[in-house]
Chain A
């Protein structure tokens, strides 16, 4: 091949052409993709079984699931009576209104920029609040920080079976009592927990409830 000039030129041409195919196929990979994949698994990583047999843990898990189902049913019943407030009722400075405004005014650009925050911080915030991000059917589109009335919150944009959802985690800070607010075609819930608060912003009250069920 090296002795024949024509063969060498042909080989070079074939190599160049393959390199062009390779370069064209190498589309850009979204930043922090691996981190987002790992985040979904880390928040659901299995607990250690310790010295007990698996059966004991399975039984305990079944009981917890049954108890959870009863609590969810109770919540679903009581949730139907929950009222949706307007911006006039809660005031323009309320965390729910600020969250909806942030989502509508800044989130599209954040998603476009495709820059992601630290999954470890997000995982820690979810754990501290006792929330659960399902591994199946949910994709983390964005991780970052966002302003909340008391400082900064952890900002997640999720693609879920119920559409695109914004979840703002505010560990160790209270944003006041639970309230559901409708504003600018979005509905947000601000919910206090024992170790902080969270805000969910989505397109309807029904979806807010679905997302909360999913996270609990």
Chain B
């Protein structure tokens, strides 16, 4: 009975969250096969440490945290480190030319440094609050708010430049 309950809850989690976890994984590694591997590994780890999940309501942020750590473990060989020194101007100036092409918003998100991109995606894809993002990323809530604001500003600048460029071409 317990095993059946565990299996059925696990299946619900897989069906409920594999899609959004894949998207988050994709934005972490930007390679679709690796992203799928990450999702598979995340659920394998989740199954193995199921007993560590005490509150069903926390399942979603638990899965995101597992995925984030798996990404660090498998593809970076270290915990994700945030580059605190990178400034907004550097972000905009270092944007690749592809940011000015037709999928400018997607390219602009890619051009963001990890420290801005990650909290933004946790908010946009996962719907997490600043406090939940702070918990997942092990940073303060204030730092999350700052990064979210800066991420949006950077995206505005990047996509604004794409529009300016298009208008010049016309």
Contact = CB atoms under 8 A, between A and B. Distances in A.
B3 A40 contact: no
A18 to B, nearest CB: 8
B106 A24 contact: yes
B166 interface: no
Given A25-B121, A33-B36, A34-B15, 13 more contacts: A21-B105, A21-B109, A21-B124, A21-B152, A24-B108, A25-B109, A29-B23, A37-B40, A38-B15, A45-B7, A46-B3, A135-B44, A139-B40
A159 interface: yes
B109 A37 contact: no
A84 to B, nearest CB: 30
A141 B33 CA distance: 8
Interface in B1-24: 3, 7, 10-11, 14-15, 18-19, 22-23
Nearest to A23: B105
Interface of B: 3, 7, 10-11, 14-15, 18-19, 22-23, 26-27, 32-33, 36-37, 39-41, 43-44, 47, 103, 105-106, 108-109, 120-121, 124-125, 152, 155-156, 159
A34 B42 CA distance: 12
B43 A21 contact: no
B19 A29 contact: yes
A36 interface: yes
A102 interface: no
A33 B39 CA distance: 9
Contacts of B3: 46, 48
A27 B23 contact: yes
A184 interface: no
Classify chain A's interface size: 20 to 34
A25 B14 contact: no
30 contacts: A17-B156, A18-B124, A20-B105, A21-B105, A21-B120, A21-B152, A21-B155, A22-B124, A23-B105, A24-B106, A24-B108, A25-B23, A25-B109, A25-B121, A26-B23, A26-B125, A27-B106, A29-B19, A29-B22, A30-B36, A34-B18, A36-B40, A37-B14, A38-B11, A45-B7, A46-B3, A139-B37, A139-B40, A159-B33, A159-B37
Interface of A: 17-18, 20-27, 29-30, 33-34, 36-38, 40-41, 45-46, 48, 135-136, 139, 141, 159
A135 B44 CA distance: 7
B129 to A, nearest CB: 15
Contacts of B39: 33, 37
B73 to A, nearest CB: 13
A26 B19 CA distance: 10
Contacts of A25: 23, 27, 106, 109, 121, 124-125
